[in-house]
Structure 1
Amino acid sequence: MLCLHTSPLELPGTGDAGGMNVYVAQTARRLAQRSIEVEIFTRATSSRQPPSVQPWPGVTVRHVVAGPFEGLAKDDLPGQLCSFAAGVLRAGARREPGAYSLVHSHYWLSGQVGYLVKDRWGVPLVHSAHTLARVKNLALATGDRPEPAGRVIGEDQVLAEADRLVANTGVEADQLRELYGADPSRVDVVPPGVDTDLFTPGSRAAARAASGLPADEVLLVFAGRLQPLKAPDLLIRVLPVLLRRYPGTRFRVVVAGGTSGSGHRTDRDLRALAGSLGVVDLVELRPPMPPEQLVQLYRAADAVVVPSHNESFGLVALEAQAAGTPVVAAAVGGLPVAVADGVSGVLVRDHDLGRWADAIAGVVLDPARRAALAAGAVRHAARFSWEATVDGLLETYRRAVQPPPGQVGDRPGRDGDVRAARDHGRPDAVGGDGAGRTGAPVGSGRVAR
């Protein structure tokens, strides 16, 4: 796997780390549990990082030196693609020929390296976009910057070169087709999952005590990166509306996350906004937290609010529901899949403050409705699992190494690559084991990267 701009070992909510980091870590671990060796290449961001680590059995994370360790924003990384690609290819040169079965790139920067690597090794490329520039530019938040033309061009190149594309939802698959001209026959819809062993329902009172939160207030929670795209400011702006409409109710807002992205918000910006609105004493800003603490915050909340301007899926919404908390979310991107409107939460069609106040109050101030949504949230989240995600990825990998008849050689440069992979026996690495399970033969030594 190629994960250039952020490491799966980083804490989500920090810098550029978010749902994609969780996705890469969870799928890599489970692929390894199915006897598929996984190597994840990411850019080194500290001189203290070892060249490689093995965070989970069967998974190696390699830190590639590409540019200075610190001080590079994501927008600076296109200038380091050559250096990163060289590091990946050098690592591959130290392996035996035919060691790798395929490359799975995450985000467009990794895809740029991925299609160079696939040609060098003669293996298929599977690509997950996670976010798309054209989609983001159609739903810009106030104060956000459009994604640059270089990214749009880069995405076009990657999507044209990839053997298969993985979309989180049918909505994303449609966007790939309509905005990028992707061939629908090469797009697979594989929804992300949620760790239902960790994110489970629990006592709200105990969770508030563990999180240091008052027991007698209506608690609204935002968790995620502090950037205009995620719209954490909306939850602060809607608070005065709620206070005016329901003067006898004590509300509290907790925002947990770190600065990220273009036109980013900082905790200082959000605190200043709360002060200007006269609600600074009711807003608590917390840094990103590990999953073991985050689940307690979800359990403590009366509702988790996800007001993003766009989300390819929305893992926070799924995690909160698995913890038994209803979600009030924007009806954008993949959130209508992650949240079942009226069953596990409420979807809001725009960013009008009055409409958000109505939606939030309709959940948190109606105990019977909240209880029904909380029960529905757990049931809905149970439909998504990382094991099912890996099942879908393995089917995609199989299609990549064994294209259906009529797809071999129908694009320039593909026939020789696929034939070379077949000649080296690489399809065996992600073939079936005869018992309905997909995975590489145990001890095969082949790698899904």
Structure 2
Amino acid sequence: MRVAMISMHTSPLEQPGIGDAGGMNVYVRNVAEHLASHGVEVDVFTRATRASQGEVVEVAPGLRVINCVAGPFEGLPKESLPTQLAAFTGSVLSFVRREAGTDGDPSSPAARAGAGHYDLIHSHYWLSGQVGWLLRDLWGVPLVHTAHTWAAVKNLGLAEGDTPEPESRRICEQQIVDNADRIIVNTQDEADALVTAYDAENTDLAVVPPGVDVDRFTPGSDRATERSRRELGIPLRAKVIAFIGRLQMLKGPHILLRAAADLIRRHPEQNIRVVICGGPSGTGMERPDELHDLAAELGVSGYVRFLSPRPPEELVSVYQAADIIAVPSYNESFGLVALEAQAAGTPVVAARVGGLPLTVTEGESGLLVDGHDPADWAHALESLVMDDDLRNSMSDVAPSHAAEYSWDVTVERMIAEYRQLVDRWRAHGCSEPDVALTSLASRDPSGSRE
């Protein structure tokens, strides 16, 4: 099986925690790598952001990343990416035609469209979904879509000062829901939200939870924890609360700072320290020093350590150095950070939103907080900071909970969905581009099926 994976707005090769790179990058890279290890050939198409990387990057046997030129390499904000949908799609088609056109008559309609080169398309995020929808009909293959976030859901839980997602995005997502052959969701709650907000059909949805690399994210020994703290410049005897992720209002790092400042004032004997690991993203790009300024305003700058984003092989030491990982997000479709933390034996205090109630076993591997009032967060964090026995028991349980999720299980479920779709598509005679193009022509201009 050959799969064209579309990840237009961010590359799986980018460092998570910088700019628009985050959990989706971790997801796409791990799914693609594990698909390849299961014998599925995967090409990930993404927008080129640097000339030095080259058009084709061989990541692993059976896995390539294709950098497609669409707009300037640098300086193009995420909000402007919709203007490059046509250019990006044209770049994808050009690459595939060059490869597929070498077989048979290069002037044939199939070679010109690139039909027959892939068995299936899997798009990620709404921009890629729009591209995947067009390629689906040009190539005559089924489209699988994973959204990662949904505009209608995000707008129901905005952080204070955050900008709502535009109606244009919600309309594009509705078109994807109406036209994709399968929507992969992380949780049943996400499936229910799609049925409510986008009138999705349950038969078009498949719940496939993400996984975690339990071989990389493992609990550290006391000696490993001490070494990690020395390397990161954290006092050995401190109580450490860490935040890992992109620095923007949606992820809630400011909630942690306010809650921690309260704890630091009330419990100076606990020697509480805060670690924030990540880079500005989204609205955080407008004020990259906002969290530093907030720490100074709260009078806790000396207790907060800001770390730059780091690759997984280095990130594990941050998890191991922490006593608690805070995930105060306003919206989180699943919560890979929470899962990685637990795999590393670190209990989690997370917001009760999105997929986090599934990711965190409340009272066993962590705590869940209703809402985003810093006072409530201070109370939840305090219960673990002050109770060593409770925190240590959660630390013992957390890895076994995380072990229930693995990328191999995720990918095996995904391959089953792929095969079912490909078999059904071929059984109904929809594998020829002319059939698909006829279908495209029969739709109304809104993009909905007749």
The equivalent residue for 2:280 is: 259
Show CA shifts across 1:184-241 (max 9, x none).
0110000000001100000222321232311011111000001110011111111221
Letter in 1 for 2:195: R
Letter in 2 for 1:61: V
**Among 102, 106, 109, the residue aligned to 2:124:** 106
**Among 289, 292, 295, the residue aligned to 2:313:** 292
**Among 67, 70, 73, the residue aligned to 1:66:** 70
CA distance in 1, matches of 2:355, 2:422: 28
The equivalent residue for 1:237 is: 258
Summarize the Cα distance change of 1:76–1:422 in structure 2 as closer, same or farther, 3 Å threshold: closer
Find out whether 1:183 has 2:196 as its counterpart.
no
Letter in 2 for 1:219: V
Is residue 425–residue 431 contact of structure 2 (8 Å, CA) maintained in 1?
Answer: no
Show CA shifts across 1:246-295 (max 9, x none).
23221111111111113547551111111111111111111111112210
Find out whether 1:352 has 2:356 as its counterpart.
no
Find out whether 1:315 has 2:319 as its counterpart.
no
CA distance in 1, matches of 2:244, 2:380: 18
Is residue 325–residue 374 contact of structure 1 (8 Å, CA) maintained in 2?
Answer: yes
**Among 32, 37, 42, the residue aligned to 2:41:** 37
Is residue 267–residue 285 contact of structure 1 (8 Å, CA) maintained in 2?
Answer: no
Taking structure 1 as the reference length, what is the TM-score of the superposition? 0.89
Matched residue SS, 2:241: strand
Matched residue SS, 2:7: coil
Q: What aligned pairs does 1:7-406 form with structure 2 within 5 A after superposition? A: 7-94=11-98, 95=100, 96=103, 97-203=115-221, 204-262=225-283, 264=285, 266-403=287-424
Letter in 1 for 2:167: A
1:403 positional shift: 3.5
Is residue 223–residue 255 contact of structure 1 (8 Å, CA) maintained in 2?
Answer: yes
CA distance in 2, matches of 1:296, 1:173: 34
Summarize the Cα distance change of 1:105–1:334 in structure 2 as closer, same or farther, 3 Å threshold: same
1:244 positional shift: 3.2
CA distance in 1, matches of 2:425, 2:33: 28
Moved more, 124-133 or 268-277: 268-277
CA distance in 2, matches of 1:13, 1:272: 20
Is residue 123–residue 421 contact of structure 1 (8 Å, CA) maintained in 2?
Answer: no
CA distance in 1, matches of 2:281, 2:435: 43
Summarize the Cα distance change of 1:63–1:404 in structure 2 as closer, same or farther, 3 Å threshold: closer
- RMSD value over aligned CA atoms? 1.9
The alignment covers a number of residue pairs equal to 415
Moved more, 177-186 or 206-215: 206-215
Is residue 228–residue 264 contact of structure 1 (8 Å, CA) maintained in 2?
Answer: no
1:76 positional shift: 0.4
Q: In structure 2, list runs of 5 or more residues that go unmatched.
A: 104-114, 437-450
Matched residue SS, 1:143: coil
Letter in 2 for 1:417: C
Q: In structure 1, list runs of 5 or more residues that go unmatched.
A: 409-414, 424-449
1:422 positional shift: 12
Matched residue SS, 2:282: coil
Is residue 228–residue 265 contact of structure 1 (8 Å, CA) maintained in 2?
Answer: no
Is residue 126–residue 163 contact of structure 1 (8 Å, CA) maintained in 2?
Answer: yes
CA distance in 2, matches of 1:350, 1:302: 22
The equivalent residue for 2:445 is: none
1:375 positional shift: 1.2
Moved more, 71-80 or 198-207: 198-207
Letter in 2 for 1:11: Q
Matched residue SS, 1:417: coil
Is residue 139–residue 433 contact of structure 2 (8 Å, CA) maintained in 1?
Answer: no
Letter in 2 for 1:384: Y
Summarize the Cα distance change of 1:56–1:248 in structure 2 as closer, same or farther, 3 Å threshold: same
Is residue 64–residue 87 contact of structure 1 (8 Å, CA) maintained in 2?
Answer: yes
CA distance in 2, matches of 1:421, 1:250: 68
1:420 positional shift: 6.9
Moved more, 391-400 or 120-129: 391-400
1:34 positional shift: 1.4
Letter in 1 for 2:291: L
Show CA shifts across 1:86-119 (max 9, x none).
1111122221451210000000000000010010
Matched residue SS, 1:25: helix
Is residue 165–residue 187 contact of structure 1 (8 Å, CA) maintained in 2?
Answer: yes
State percent identity of aligned pairs: 52
